[in-house]
Structure 1
């Protein structure tokens, strides 16, 4: 597992919704870059600070679905491309 410079283990909890199958199947994380009204979201901003090796806990449909360790595998793509 990765550690920040302070020696604290970082991990990420992801609440999957519409794109769960694509993300888990493709081994990547995806989220919008901003809220629908254009405002910032700390949840979305956190996607940019996840690092290689950070553990990711994937929650969907009322249960923990999977854990994976490549939090830095990200794609700069639209929701339409993810949902396809």
Structure 2
């Protein structure tokens, strides 16, 4: 039977952050999802679902971390525009 969740333990020193553990866990989940999107291993919609926020909120977080809302190669986009005329 497939496991429903994966648990990852992170060993941090006590002074690693002043936020509550649940807030730190949410932030680490977000950063992990952002990295998966950045590496092309996860869609933005799936990442938003994993983080537990709406796609709009996820796209704002992604933008704040330098990740574009749309991952579309510029040359592919030009070709699409050219073929639509």
Give the shorter-chain TM-score range.
Answer: under 0.3
**Structure with the larger helix share:** 2
More strand by share: 1
Normalized against structure 1, the TM-score is what? 0.25
Q: What TM-score results when the alignment is normalised by the length of structure 2?
A: 0.25
